[in-house]
Structure 1
């Protein structure tokens, strides 16, 4: 069943009660209910009491392969039934799915039965900030803080871990033009450090050019964007890859916390079809 109108607002409220496990799906609903973004379907197994909710972006052109399916489920049996018997998942095409690490086992089991190749992409902590007043005060004197714009897309794409290709440009453009961002500009007005907001409302793509590191720019853009997000009543959180201890220590030093028993993961199915 696809949700529309007031149902989306009701679903957002229900997902909030499952935080932090529902953080990513909740963030998707928050932005969809408030901002213009790329089209997506919000699908549930039942209404008004659902056990599975799936955020399914529509793929309309080249580059849309970066649009991930986001899944939240509080019942593994229902999740298995949905992905096995419904048309929600097209097992003949490329799909990238983000969800609870334990529930990825459900996806992998169904994929294995269907002879669909799988690939683990990342395993992440969810770092959250409930109250931005706890953030340290950042001395931004002498720092030119701004938002990113379309003229910066190529620079972001070149320096993003999963970018450096034409396929990522459409997603980055959507993020820059529709969602909050923050950057530090040099004397010529060029970004030297930046952070964006994904369609799941998570902060991400944090990057500082190597020659400008060690100046506190990363802290400045994180704190500034976090305050902007909470001022607009958005959740303040990010995903940190398990092996990225530098970013983990940075966010932890700013007061972000995480549940050590919970991890979010991303998996790709039919990865060889990603750009076809």
Structure 2
């Protein structure tokens, strides 16, 4: 059976009825079970556990470098240079200072970098604790990969083993993905946001390893950069537009096309707890009728209206209000829309979102789930 990424924000309907999963008290504590202790750094392969951290940054001025509480980790095969410094043939895991610098470096590189930028934005504000960022070099990187620190966590991100990718060129991407310990070629992995122009680097590597690789979807990236660009729309009284609450997670999970189990419930609860969300409430004092959330990589998503309340402008109102709110908070404002989804494409562009036609982001499955 073909799997689909739960973080693709806007797709055509799946045609299936969702299965409702009722959360238990124990499931609500998943974050405490799966998140590593503060300051702990996790190396995923046994071969890498003996590699000690090595500071790779140096200041170019007379001002002393600030010391991070978590420094870059070097992964891969160590090489001994004539200068006595430890070098590496592969990759670097960024520490706290470097994560901040990477966020600033990626900010002007949208749409190609927006997904990894969103991950960095969340990590640097303590909103995505099970993510780490790997660079091919530092500070002059060509590739950044945002990946799970701990694999197999009890949420959709862990279930799909999602790697978000930014690459400046195909050769650098292929070189980094070839590094021992970065990818498990014997396990299902979803590479998300790959530049369509660099896709051959990944498919060639998969063929070399003798594993299947399949394009799951090709996405437009629609972005809103300023309040001046936003076309404000509102069809609902102000008092009916409210943030979602934790108690609404089960409802959202039951209607999500990738929902219906405890892993997806945990993801929905994480989105509601850590990021902005909005819903239109029933005017009779009931529950939500329509809603929009934000993923951990900060794309708008899970936009949904109950069937009996459609064609009232609820979804358009929520996207307009959410976009304005995110701009106020300094968040990137964007979404992914699958090629061929004209309804979602039309909704977002009607509100002022724009697209760079020359860029497409690809979700690529490695192995079968």
Residue 184 of structure 2 aligns to a residue in which SS? coil
Q: TM-score, normalised by structure 1?
A: 0.93
Q: Over aligned residues, Cα RMSD in angstroms?
A: 1.6
Residue 271 of structure 1 aligns to a residue in which SS? coil
Moved more, 56-65 or 174-183: 56-65
Q: Is the 8 A contact 1:111 1:117 kept in 2?
A: yes
Residue 261 of structure 1 aligns to a residue in which SS? coil
Q: Report the alpha carbon displacement of residue 132 of structure 1 after superposing the two structures with TM.
A: 2.5
The alignment covers a number of residue pairs equal to 272
Which residue number corresponds to residue 188 of structure 2?
94
- Cα distance in 2 between the residues matched to 1:161 and 1:243: 18
- Cα distance in 1 between the residues matched to 2:241 and 2:106: 33
Comparing both structures, which one devotes a greater share of its residues to helix?
1
Q: Does 1:233 align with 2:330?
A: yes
Unmatched tracts of structure 2, length 5 or more: 1-91
Q: Does 1:17 align with 2:108?
A: yes
Q: Report the alpha carbon displacement of residue 166 of structure 1 after superposing the two structures with TM.
A: 2.8
- Cα distance in 2 between the residues matched to 1:106 and 1:74: 12
Pairwise mapping of residues 46-125 of structure 1 onto structure 2 (< 5 A)?
46-58=137-149, 59-63=151-155, 64-66=158-160, 68-98=162-192, 99-125=194-220
Which residue number corresponds to residue 76 of structure 2?
none
Pairwise mapping of residues 98-247 of structure 1 onto structure 2 (< 5 A)?
98=192, 99-139=194-234, 140-141=236-237, 144-186=240-282, 187-247=284-344
Residue 115 of structure 1 aligns to a residue in which SS? coil
Q: What are the Cα deviations for residues 39-90 of structure 1, in whole angstroms up to 9, with x where unaligned?
A: 1111101111101100012324333224521011112112111111331111
- Cα distance in 1 between the residues matched to 2:161 and 2:152: 11
Q: Report the alpha carbon displacement of residue 160 of structure 1 after superposing the two structures with TM.
A: 1.5
Q: Is the 8 A contact 1:92 1:270 kept in 2?
A: yes
- Computing the radius of gyration over CA atoms, which structure comes out larger, 1 or 2? 2
Unmatched tracts of structure 1, length 5 or more: none
- Cα distance in 1 between the residues matched to 2:186 and 2:343: 38
Q: Report the alpha carbon displacement of residue 143 of structure 1 after superposing the two structures with TM.
A: 5.7
- Cα distance in 2 between the residues matched to 1:11 and 1:175: 23
- Cα distance in 2 between the residues matched to 1:88 and 1:104: 17
Residue 304 of structure 2 aligns to a residue in which SS? strand
Q: TM-score, normalised by structure 2?
A: 0.70
Q: Report the alpha carbon displacement of residue 118 of structure 1 after superposing the two structures with TM.
A: 2.1
Residue 251 of structure 1 aligns to a residue in which SS? helix
Q: What are the Cα deviations for residues 183-213 of structure 1, in whole angstroms up to 9, with x where unaligned?
A: 1111233111111111111111111111111
Moved more, 155-164 or 257-266: 155-164
